[in-house]
Chain A
């Protein structure tokens, strides 16, 4: 469904370009949840933004191809990209509250989806959010960070995209909500034959929610493994990362 073949992503500093990501190749198929794991500063957010040419061309240079339904997104027109980002490939960014216009009430976003209030209510209920009526009258700054994030996930699901991309969905979220997100993502790909791509540093969430996991470090990505393969990978970076995770859970005190 989505074929990614990125040679490099570089930041254009004054004179010399600094490469952040290099040689990334993967294909995303329908009906699966993909996870890219990586430490702080490994380039996760840059990678997902480069997929639909979201990085400003004044500061970044992206070389390669990202093919969606036969179209190379990196050379698509601005109009075409906007359509794709609206209908086909949707993001839920980390700072969800900033994805809303603070001057608009939530009703505005509900109306944009063209979905009946009844159906919206169903999803709101699933994510333990206030009712359609109550939320409609609120501004985004009246929501807590966690609520804004869940609401953004609801709105994104209502757009019914082919590919849903989430950036650190579990940071700052309590475990009950983490469980909800996990359940919904699994249902979403299974029931609608869609794909989900999540970047995170939460290895526990990755193992429980994914069909495939890859590890990003210093701008290079491993292949996508199944979670069993991932946990027994011989890649040194992956081994270290898993080692730390396991060691924390071990009781030695």
Chain B
């Protein structure tokens, strides 16, 4: 059985209190994630990407549908949640006044790691995300955006999640940092067999990082499959539109036609 099964998830919000008018953010979304995979979810702003991430991480409850985690793949001895999520505003995840070493130790203690091993484990984890030793005693606010992001990832890895969700980890980063992150995620995936769901509007990066992609539009899955197949041979107009939009080769007529359909 797959590690994660997302079955017919729907989620809506009430936009007008008086009329109880509803807006559907997610409509009947279903897909499966195999253990050890990296799945990319892409689509434009407002497509429901972040909401889907929160539903999978059980931070919000869907109106209907099921999120099924396979017990076979999950270590039930842990006291932390099997799904961890890296938010877009990663800087705000870290305690700005907490030392990085303390923040990581706290996370390690959740799963009752023996105190003799904490130091070694801390170093392993910070090392695996390429966080330099000389910054261990710095506080959250004393780090640059990129360093904060690495520390935040280490904090998530410290509880040994079975599934890691990354919400737009590449936005607001320059290409060199983006490349470093892609390589880091690939390495974590390889070394720890860590399953990941990566949300990004950047198709170029997903093409490199993800084995599978899901194209989301207005809360519905438009197309999904192996990354190469979807991007090299898109079946749906919306996927084709996204690909040509990314290469910045749309004509005005094409952009306009899409807005009104």
Contacts and interface: CB of A to CB of B under 8 A. Distances in A.
Same complex for A and B? Answer yes
B45 A146 contact: yes
Contacts of B221: none
Nearest to B202: A248
A40 B174 contact: yes
B182 to A, nearest CB: 6
B211 A208 contact: no
Interface in B204-258: 204-205, 207-211, 227-228, 242, 245-252, 255-256, 258
Contacts of A179: 245, 248-250, 255
Contacts of B242: 175
B201 interface: yes
Interface in B178-220: 178-179, 182, 186, 201, 204-205, 207-211
Interface residues of B, number: 38
Interface residues of A, number: 32
A39 B186 contact: no
Given A176-B259, A248-B208, A183 B173 contact: no
B134 interface: no
Given A241-B175, A249-B207, A176 B248 contact: no
Contacts of B59: none
A252 B208 contact: yes
Interface string A218-253: 000000000000000000000011001101111111
Contacts of B248: 175, 178-179, 182, 204-205, 208-209
B179 A248 contact: yes
Contacts of A171: 172
Interface of A: 39-40, 126, 128, 146, 171-172, 174-176, 178-180, 182-183, 201, 203-205, 208-209, 240-241, 244-245, 247-253
